[in-house]
Structure 1
Amino acid sequence: MDYLTLFLPAFIWFVIIASFVHLIRLDYWWIRIWDFPHLQLFVLASIALVAWVFTGEKSEWTDALMPVGLSAALLYQGWLIYPYTSFHKKQVHRILRKAGEASNDKATIRLMVANVYMYNTRTPDVCQLISKYKPDVFLILEGNKAWAKALESVQEQYPFRLLHPLENTYGMLLYSRLPLQNAELRFLIQDDIPSIYGQFKLPSEQLIHFYGVHPMPPSPTEHYRSTERDAELLIVGKEARRQKGPVIVAGDLNDVAWSHTTRLFQRISGLLDPRVGRGLFSTFHARYFFLRWPLDHVFVSHHFRLRYLKRLPNCGSDHFPILIELTYAPDPARAVDIPQPEGDDIQESNETIKEAR
Structure 2
Amino acid sequence: MIIKRRNVPLMGVIELFASLTILMSLISLFPSFNWFFELTVHFKFQYFIASLVFFCIFLYSGKIWVTGLLAGCLLLNAFFVIPVYWNKQNGASDTQSALNLMLLNLQSHNTDYPAVTQLIRSYSPDIFIGQEINKEWQQELESLVHLYPYQKIISRLDNFGIAILSKIPLDSIETHRWGEAKLPTLSANFVFNNQTIKLITTHLLPPGDKTYYQLRNDHANTLVKKLLPASTPLIIAGDLNMTQWSNNYQILEDQTHMYNARQGFGILATWPAWLGGLGLPIDHILVSQHFNVKYIETGPNVNSDHLPIIATLSLNKVR
Fold match (TM-score > 0.5)? yes
Assess, with a 3 A threshold, how the Cα gap between structure 1 residues 91 and 36 changes in structure 2: closer, same or farther. Answer: farther
Q: Would you say 1:255 and 2:242 are equivalent positions?
A: yes
Distance 1:149 1:293 in 2: 30
Measure, in 1, the Cα distance between the counterparts of 2:224 and 2:317: 20
For structure 2, list consecutive stretches of 5 or more residues without a partner in the other structure.
1-6
Q: Is the 8 A contact 2:172 2:189 kept in 1?
A: yes
SS of 1:242's equivalent in the other structure is coil
TM-score of the pair, normalised by structure 2: 0.87
Cα shift at 1:95? 4.1
CA shift at 1:67, angstroms? 4.2
Judged with a 3 Å threshold, the aligned counterparts in structure 2 of structure 1 residues 164 and 96 are, in CA distance, closer, same or farther, namely closer
Contact kept in structure 1, 2:33 and 2:248, CA below 8 Å: no
1:144-189 CA distance string (max 9 Å, x none): 1110011222023323222111121111011122222222212212
1:325 offset after TM fit, Å? Answer: 2.2
Shift of 1:129: 1.8
Aligned partner (choices 15, 20, 23) of residue 17 of structure 1? 23
Provide TM-score, normalisation by structure 1. Answer: 0.78
Q: CA separation in 1, counterparts of 2:261 and 2:138?
A: 30
Matching residue of 1:129: 119
Unaligned runs of 5+ in 1: 59-63, 98-102, 333-357
Q: Secondary structure at the match of 1:289?
A: helix
Whether the 8 Å CA contact 2:261–2:293 is kept in 1: the answer is yes
1:185 aligns with 2:175: yes
Matched position secondary structure for 2:275: coil
Task: Tell me by how many angstroms 1:91 deviates.
Answer: 3.9
Q: Residue 215 in 1 paired to residue 204 in 2?
A: yes
Paired residue for 1:206?
Answer: 195
User: RMSD in angstroms over aligned alpha carbons?
Assistant: 2.6
Q: Report the AA paired with residue 17 of structure 2.
A: F
Query: How many residue pairs get matched?
Result: 313
What secondary structure, in the 3-state scheme, does the structure 2 residue paired with 1:320 have?
A: coil
Counterpart Cα distance in 2 of 1:57 and 1:322: 42
Residue 83 (1) aligns with residue 83 (2) = yes
2:305 corresponds to 1:299: no
Give % identity.
27
Contact 1:94–1:306 (Cα < 8 Å) also in 2: no
How big is each residue's C-alpha offset from its partner over 1:274-310, in whole Å with a ceiling of 9 and x where there is no partner? Answer: 3222222221221123741211111111112333323
User: CA offset at residue 258 of structure 1?
Assistant: 2.7
Aligned partner of 1:273 in structure 2 is 260
Separation in structure 1 between the aligned mates of residue 63 and residue 82 of structure 2, nearest angstrom: 32
In the other structure, the counterpart of 1:355 is: none
Distance 1:227 1:68, change over 3 A: farther
Q: Contact (CA 8 Å) 1:310, 1:323: kept in 2 or not?
A: yes
Q: Does 1:47 align with 2:53?
A: yes
Conserved in 2, the CA contact under 8 Å of 1:170 and 1:194?
yes
Taking the aligned partners of 2:48 and 2:37, their CA distance within structure 1 comes to 18
The change in CA–CA distance for 1:52 and 1:328 in structure 2 (over 3 A counts) is closer
3-state SS, counterpart of residue 226 of structure 1: helix
Equivalent pair of 2:294/2:312 in contact (CA under 8 Å)? yes
